[in-house]
Structure 1
């Protein structure tokens, strides 16, 4: 089986690049640029009309498939390659694993994405009307988003106060998937210092050799990441 990852630097596709490094899998990496499109972007469009990141091109038995969505890619690699760190065998850990790996993109990331959407709306509103869109953004944040994100961070903090990793004592793909939205909060949330266990957890992740190797290969930019997410708050 041949794997090719189409990757956009400093994006959610960094998680899949890290996952491939953790599994010590052989894969080809194509780094894409959107503005202006580079050769990698043009190549991706030939395989996938949606051209989403990440996209994993899977070639096996003279067939070729393009798989997008981080959670779907992670689940595929776990099920079909049997190398993915899953979770401890105990039922409690299995349940925690199932919850957290889906929590990342089904619950946590959408609230952060809404933060970005409202920030972009304000930026793109004509200047005379911008106070109106800003008030709408602030009202939605104060009335819902800020409390929702705080509750999610509280849940993660409480869990990590009792467990080394999300699925118990073993690192798993749940940790890989939750890393990105949690890192976004660490980069921009004004009260992230209130979450010491989350900060310790992120430091644990950063100490992993595969994580550092993936950052280098994926051309990750901390400065760009922080600048992007700072606009959301």
Structure 2
């Protein structure tokens, strides 16, 4: 049996609902042996303090590599850096994870790179540099909208909605449209971003893409607008290495959720809710001020009702016979079902 580890002891410090899961997937694809140490988020969704004992910033993922004869393990942090290091030193377990760089006969020449490799290099930096910041900002914006006391939420909701409309939505949609086009023009027809083979860049981008698949792409209009991206998110989760990584976590933790962006804590026991329809049900009931009816002919009266009579002009979510619907609280109007 080939020792792809080359005698090295590899340890992954894995945090639930974080970027670290793609490193676990990569370890599976590279056929490496590793020790898995799992951590849960605190109640405020931040990483536990124990991770600072491994790396000063206390973020996840963290990987340690102890080479034969070394005095102490080497500590690797930052997803992109971890992926590149592991592929550089342990890539023999799956050579196609990094596309061949040069066209035959043009080795070392400027412009001699193959399209597959150029895409690979680009997406290794695009994921954290361009795409992830907007998803993080969306999460922060949602927190601003939903976390304050109920009597402040009308104000924070307006502020958050303005930020969303003026900045976040167009940037998120711009990136989704860009990825849709990249999949459409992938070498050899894809189905991955760099061509027919899964690469480390696909693994790296899986976190935001799967998050979008569980959030933005749940809406039918977006699935129709970005069909290739929706299919790509699904295909990534069907890759054998990804499924093995999920199974590893389920065996240790008993459950698995791909991303903090697609899961919420809700319900009487504040348990983890993964079903998108049920997420919407709880989200609507928790934030009714976002859905109150505005009477344009009597705007001033609507505003007085909203402030003076909490809930007078709001909507509430109901579950009936397995279906969820949004109804006007005063008149019982059903305005949507899902």
TM-score range, shorter chain: 0.7 to 0.9
Hey, what does 1:99 align to over in structure 2? 122
Aligned to 2:262: 226
> How many angstroms apart in 2 are the aligned matches of 1:162 and 1:26?
36
CA distance in 2: counterparts of 1:178 and 1:136, whole angstroms? 30
Q: Is the 8 A contact 2:17 2:259 kept in 1?
A: no
Matches within 5 A, 1:185-196: 185-189=212-216, 190=219, 191-193=221-223, 194-196=225-227
After superposition, the Cα gap between the structure-2 partners of 1:222 and 1:182, relative to the gap in structure 1 and judged at 3 Å, is: closer
**Residue 35 of structure 2 corresponds to residue 28 of structure 1:** yes
> In the alignment, what sits opposite 1:184?
211
Question: Could you say what secondary structure the match of 2:262 adopts?
Answer: helix
Change (3 A) 1:157 1:223: closer
Please give the alpha-carbon distance, in whole angstroms, between the structure 2 residues aligned to 1:50 and 1:21: 26
SS at match of 1:63: coil
The 5 Å alignment of 1:68-87 reads 68-83=77-92, 85-87=97-99
Look up the SS of the partner of 2:66 in the other structure: strand
Q: C-alpha displacement at 1:192, in angstroms?
A: 3.0
Distance 1:224 1:117 in 2: 12
Alpha-carbon separation, structure 1, partners of 2:50 and 2:158: 42
Distance 1:122-1:224 versus aligned 2 partners, 3 A rule? closer
Aligned pairs for 1:109-120 within 5 A: 109-120=132-143
Give me the CA root mean square deviation: 2.5
Structure 2: which 5+ runs fail to align? 1-7, 104-112, 251-255, 265-273, 284-338
- 1:140 aligns with 163
Greater helix percent: which structure? 1
> What is the distance in 2 between the residues matched to 1:225 and 1:72?
23
Contact 1:186 1:192 (C-alpha < 8 Å) held by counterparts: no
Instruction: Please report how far the alpha carbon of residue 171 of structure 1 lies from its aligned counterpart in structure 2 after TM superposition.
Output: 1.4
| Structure 1 residue ranges, 4+ long, deviating more than 3 angstroms after superposition | 41-45, 222-225, 228-231
Alignment partner, residue 18 of structure 2 = 11
Note if contact 2:50-2:58 (Cα within 8 Å) is conserved in structure 1: no
In the alignment, the residues of structure 1 paired with residue 242 and residue 258 of structure 2 have an alpha-carbon distance, to the nearest angstrom, of 14
Give the number of equivalent residue pairs: 229
Post-superposition shift, 1:111?
0.2
Contact 2:18 2:258 in 1 (8 A): no
Counterpart position of 2:235? 204
CA distance in 2, matches of 1:222, 1:178: 13
Larger radius of gyration: 2
Instruction: Report the secondary structure of 2:176's partner residue.
Output: helix
Superposed CA offset, 1:75-125 (max 9, x none)? 111222233611244422221111111111111011010000011122332
